[in-house]
């Protein structure tokens, strides 16, 4: 390949549309800065903030390995045990929530796809089911899991079930939306071949269409599990006994070393799941 | 057993399968089962008289205050809504939107800045050259360390949830909009940085190698090669993450700073559940509108 | 079904485009026919008519004397189960195993639970039949491989095996060798014609390659711009009809856009 040819990078000219996007972004940023009164000088925290910041981030490399503070009651469990229990609750909330979330997501995803009725006999039923499922997905998704938690707290109180339901509702919506898109993007060729062989619509859908979407659906579900871990940790700020609860408690007691210990446990959990799902994705060829 | 069945049995025994995937599948099943068994989610009956009463009370209090116990009237509801909108809801909605916009732009800049250090094909002695003259080992080691540090930083940024970042930063900054914007920006910079670094690692190598072969500097490769080749996907990621920024921006205010979340928490503290649900609904509409705008913008970018 | 077809004065229009015009054609049981002609001549449409995927705008298509236009859903399903189709782009489910793809050929005669069983835990005799067919097409060892790990040639044989697993009376093949190298194209056409001779299946194959059609088929049907312009044994396809088949449309007509 002649180097001159190679130098012609495709799409290198700033096309009109792309330039417009960038200008729009810049304008939006300016508007946001004005609305929020974002002063770049304030990005440098004040002296007090600076002191606190130095104190707090200074402990990043020296996380506490045992409880901080004096005059601790003797029956308090050691820090590592507390963290392990909190980590387990974080994981178990996330894992437990994924079960109903997946069930709901599959239901909404199958219903929300157009592939199971497109190309069949014309009927109002297919489009109606699709529209209803997509609407339900959008509705569930548009309310943040913490807000679901606030609503559910009013009914269930601080119970593990409230946390699981709060996570499961918006996650079912998100999974449903993405599943529907993935099923619709799967190649339709195999489905057509099965229809030619005389297969029933349900056979065509389950064995001609779905298998091709399944690796991507698995990969996305694993990513949502990683998100569920983070969300479960944050639910701790609302009184559930996950990692977030101890992060906020230790921070308010000014035990910054403990905060970093809990943060590193959360980091290890998330990074571990991230590595695991990456390994699965590679083996699924995605 | 016929010869054919013996052959089939042999072929089945020899079929390629991934132990890792099989083990992962069972691990997932086991984890979910153990979670449900030991998590205590159903320790008490999910539904009880007390909870039914809670739900009834909640449903009663969700009705706009002037209409509780009265006949439904659109004009009263509209007056109530208008009052709250002028009071704080309108301003909070716009500041939530502005927070998400400022955050995603900051996240994009920060993430893009970290990309060249985290992309393995670029952060090496000779970017994109497939068979470079082997440099001395300290050089290779130094570049390897750069990538490890940059990737670790990105992992740290994205592993810590926005809410935790905001919680920590509020203590530093006090009551300005910065902690919210920064919290969203840091978390999303981690995600955008990782996605874009992976993208740059998978760019067409020959074009970029040719640039380097012509003696282009690193900076020139970034602007003449990497940027034009990856900008569209980067924008797609940016809009996709913006959707989640809007979602998160609505709740971050619950930590006590001006966004919709602040007013949700405020109404909850005052036991005004009608207002709380109204603000939540406004947040839901904002999120849905954000999804729509993002979908449109992504379609626009895809066309270019 | 015995594999007899009759097209009487069939016209197919898609919107303003006419894919077939006034085609009359009789296909006898166990006959082997090659459809030849330039792209866009209507070969694919003709194949789609035979298994009820396309409907005649005018005229009548019948299989075993039954009009395809009036078929109920269940009858159409039975008809399709008796007709195996091999597509140019194979249309296999890439990330399933060969056995699953082949067994999917049996869906037309199975209920829902039967097909679930065939996909998850197939019966021994079904697997044995699938293996026998795969052996016949030369890839018996690939029974439990994933399709996307096979070479293009092997994948094509999986698609043929899936069609044969239907135990069809008719095999339709739409340009099965359009995107393969010449040596393999010859092998594939030979395999398909051999199998159909052994099992006395009706074979209708559209082919771009006239040499292969002449070598392997006792009857050629030439299509051009949706009309049959040749129908007979290869020996009768002399220089004149050959030129007719592939001649460019007259300049005036193409300028009219008709």
CATH number at residue A132: 1.10.3720.10
Contact across the interface for B41 and A96, Cβ inside 8 Å: yes
Identify which of B2, B4, B15 has the shortest CB distance to residue C144.
B15
Examine residue A27 and state whether it is found in any structural domain, yes or no: no
CA–CA separation, C102 and C97 (whole Å): 9
Among B183, B157, B172, residue whose Cα is nearest residue B253: B183
Lowest mean pLDDT among A66-80, B47-61, C244-258: C244-258
Q: How far is A284 from chain B (nearest CA, A)?
A: 8
User: 3-class SS at B299?
Assistant: helix
Among B175, B115, B172, B173, residue whose Cα is nearest residue B147: B115
How many Cα atoms occupy the beta-carbon half-sphere of C217 within 13 Å? 31
φ, ψ at C230 (rounded to 5°): -150, 140
- pLDDT-derived band at A5, boundaries 50, 70, 90: very low
| Chain C environment of B21 (Cβ under 8 Å) | none
Tell me the residues of chain C between 40 and 99 that have a Cβ less than 8 Å away from chain A. 51, 53, 77-85, 87, 89-96
pLDDT in tens, C39-78: 888 899 999 999 888 889 999 999 988 898 888 888 999 9
State the pLDDT at residue C258: 38
- Neighbouring chains of B at 3+ CB pairs within 8 Å? A, C
Mean pLDDT of C97-109: 93
Mean pLDDT of A220-244: 94
* Tokens of residue A25, six digits: 């972004």
Residue that has been written with the tokens 């890792």 in this structure? B20
Contact across the interface for B54 and A141, Cβ inside 8 Å: no
Alpha carbon distances (Å) from B95 to A19, A35, A44, B260, B281: 26, 6, 22, 8, 16
* Minimum Cα–Cα distance from C96: chain A residue: A211
Alpha carbon distances (Å) from A52 to A43, A46, A48, A250, C30: 15, 10, 6, 15, 89
Examine residue A94 and state whether it is found in any structural domain, yes or no: yes
pTM score, whole prediction: 0.86
Among chain C, residues having any CB pair with chain B shorter than 8 Å are 97, 124, 127-128, 131-132, 140-141, 143-146, 149
Residue B203: pLDDT over 70: yes
* Minimum Cα–Cα distance from B31: chain A residue: A95
Number of domains in chain A: 1
Residue C32: pLDDT over 80: yes
State the pLDDT at residue C251: 47
Residue C112 contacts A where some CB pair is shorter than 8 Å = yes
Residue A22: pLDDT over 70: yes
Cα–chain center distance at C218 = 17
- pLDDT-derived band at A179, boundaries 50, 70, 90: very high
φ, ψ at C16 (rounded to 5°): -90, -5
Examine residue A259 and state whether it is found in any structural domain, yes or no: yes
Identify which of B5, B14, B15 has the shortest CB distance to residue C128.
B5
Residue C162 contacts A where some CB pair is shorter than 8 Å = yes
Contact across the interface for A160 and B41, Cβ inside 8 Å: yes
CA–CA separation, B191 and B184 (whole Å): 11
Q: What is the mean pLDDT of chain B?
A: 87
CA–CA separation, C163 and B167 (whole Å): 63
Q: How far is B250 from chain A (nearest CA, A)?
A: 8
Contact B284, B264 (CB under 8 A): no
CATH entry 1.10.3720.10 includes domain B96-303: yes
Residues 6+ apart with CB under 8 A from A227: A171
- Residues spanned by the domain of A119: 80-283
In total, the C-beta contacts within 8 angstroms joining chain B to chain C are 26
CA–CA separation, C234 and C238 (whole Å): 8
**How many Cβ atoms sit within 10 Å of the Cβ of residue A62?**
10
| Chain A environment of C52 (Cβ under 8 Å) | none
- pLDDT-derived band at C194, boundaries 50, 70, 90: very high
Report the interhelical angle of B90-118 vs B137-159 (nearest 10°): 160
| Chain B environment of C127 (Cβ under 8 Å) | 8
Examine residue A252 and state whether it is found in any structural domain, yes or no: yes
CA–CA separation, C43 and C21 (whole Å): 12
Contact across the interface for C83 and A211, Cβ inside 8 Å: no
Mean pLDDT of B160-185: 90
Residue that has been written with the tokens 């009219």 in this structure? C256
Contact across the interface for C87 and A193, Cβ inside 8 Å: yes
Examine residue A245 and state whether it is found in any structural domain, yes or no: yes
**Stronger pLDDT, A269 or A76, i.e. the higher one:** A269
Put residue C248 in one of left, alpha, beta given phi > 0 → left and psi -120 to 50 → alpha: beta
State the pLDDT at residue A8: 40
State the pLDDT at residue A6: 39
């Amino acid at each position: 390949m002649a180097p001159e040819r190679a130098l012609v990078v495709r799409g290198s000219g700033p096309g009109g549309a792309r330039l417009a996007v960038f200008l729009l972004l810049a304008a939006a940023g300016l508007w946001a800065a004005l609305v929020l009164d974002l002063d770049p000088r304030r990005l440098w925290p004040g002296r007090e903030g600076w002191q606190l910041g130095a104190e707090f981030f200074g402990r990043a490399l020296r996380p506490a390995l045992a409880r901080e503070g004096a005059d601790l009651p003797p029956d308090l469990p050691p820090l590592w045990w507390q963290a392990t229990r909190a980590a387990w609750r974080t994981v178990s909330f996330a894992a437990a929530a994924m079960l109903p979330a997946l069930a709901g997501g599959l239901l909404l995803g199958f219903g929300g796809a157009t592939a199971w009725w497109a190309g069949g006999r014309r009927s109002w039923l297919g489009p109606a089911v699709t529209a209803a499922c997509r609407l339900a997905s959008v509705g569930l998704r548009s309310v943040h899991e913490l807000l679901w938690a606030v609503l559910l707290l009013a009914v269930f109180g601080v119970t593990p079930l409230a946390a699981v339901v709060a996570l499961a509702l918006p996650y079912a919506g998100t999974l449903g939306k993405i599943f529907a898109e993935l099923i619709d993007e799967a190649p339709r060729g195999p489905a057509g071949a099965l229809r030619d062989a005389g297969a029933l619509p349900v056979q065509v859908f389950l064995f001609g269409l779905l298998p091709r979407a399944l690796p991507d659906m698995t990969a996305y579900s694993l990513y949502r599990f990683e998100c569920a871990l983070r969300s479960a940790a944050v639910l701790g700020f609302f009184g559930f006994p996950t990692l977030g609860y101890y992060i906020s408690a230790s921070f308010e007691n000014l035990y910054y070393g403990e905060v970093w210990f809990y943060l590193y446990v959360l980091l290890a959990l998330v990074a571990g799941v991230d590595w695991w799902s990456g390994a699965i994705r590679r083996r699924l060829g995605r | 057993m016929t010869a054919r069945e013996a052959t089939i049995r042999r072929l089945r025994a020899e079929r390629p399968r991934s132990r890792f995937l099989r083990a992962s599948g069972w691990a997932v099943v086991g984890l979910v089962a153990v979670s449900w068994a030991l998590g205590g989610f159903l320790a008490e009956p999910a539904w009880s008289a007390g909870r039914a009463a809670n739900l009834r009370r909640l449903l009663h209090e969700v009705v706009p205050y002037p209409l509780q116990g009265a006949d439904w009237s659109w004009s009263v509801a509209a007056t109530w809504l208008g009052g709250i909108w002028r009071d704080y809801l309108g301003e909070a909605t716009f500041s939530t939107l502005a927070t998400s916009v400022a955050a995603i732009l900051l996240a994009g800049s920060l993430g893009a800045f970290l990309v060249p250090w985290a992309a393995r094909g670029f952060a090496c002695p000779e970017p994109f050259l497939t068979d470079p003259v082997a440099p001395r080992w300290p050089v290779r080691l130094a570049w390897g360390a750069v990538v490890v540090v940059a990737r670790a930083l990105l992992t740290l940024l994205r592993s810590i949830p926005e809410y935790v970042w905001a919680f920590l930063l509020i203590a530093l900054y006090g009551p300005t909009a910065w902690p919210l914007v920064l919290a969203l920006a840091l978390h999303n910079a981690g995600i955008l940085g990782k996605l874009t670094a992976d993208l740059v690692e998978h760019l067409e190598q020959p074009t970029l190698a040719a640039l380097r072969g012509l003696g282009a500097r690193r900076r020139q490769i970034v602007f003449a090669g990497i940027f034009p080749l990856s900008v569209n996907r980067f924008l797609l990621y940016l809009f996709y993450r913006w959707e989640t920024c809007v979602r998160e921006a609505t709740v971050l205010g619950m930590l006590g700073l001006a966004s919709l979340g602040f007013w949700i928490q405020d109404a909850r503290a005052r036991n005004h559940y009608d207002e709380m649900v109204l603000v939540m609904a406004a947040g839901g509409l904002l999120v849905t509108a954000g999804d729509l705008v993002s979908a449109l913008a992504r379609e626009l970018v895809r066309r270019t | 079904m015995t594999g007899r077809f009759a097209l009487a004065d069939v016209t197919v229009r898609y919107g303003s485009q006419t894919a077939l015009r006034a085609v009359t054609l009789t296909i006898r049981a166990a006959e082997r026919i090659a459809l030849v002609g330039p792209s866009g001549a209507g070969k694919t449409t003709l194949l789609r008519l035979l298994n009820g995927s396309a409907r005649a705008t005018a005229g009548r298509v019948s299989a075993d004397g039954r009009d395809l236009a009036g078929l109920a859903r269940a009858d159409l399903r039975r008809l399709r189960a008796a007709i195996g189709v091999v597509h140019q782009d194979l249309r296999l489910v890439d990330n399933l195993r060969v056995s699953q793809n082949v067994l999917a050929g049996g869906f037309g005669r199975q209920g829902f639970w039967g097909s679930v069983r065939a996909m998850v835990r197939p019966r021994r005799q079904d697997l044995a039949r699938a293996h026998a067919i795969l052996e016949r097409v030369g890839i018996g060892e690939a029974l439990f491989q994933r399709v996307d790990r096979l070479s293009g040639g092997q994948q094509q044989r999986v698609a043929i095996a899936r069609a044969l697993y239907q135990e069809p009376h008719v095999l339709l093949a739409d340009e099965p060798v359009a995107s393969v190298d010449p040596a393999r194209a010859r092998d594939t056409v030979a395999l398909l014609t051999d199998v159909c001779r052994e099992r006395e299946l009706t074979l209708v194959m559209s082919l771009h390659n006239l040499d292969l059609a002449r070598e392997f088929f006792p009857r050629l049907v030439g299509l051009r711009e949706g009309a049959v312009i040749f129908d007979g044994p290869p020996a009768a396809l002399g220089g004149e009809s050959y030129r007719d088949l592939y001649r460019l449309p007259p300049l005036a007509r193409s300028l009219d856009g008709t």
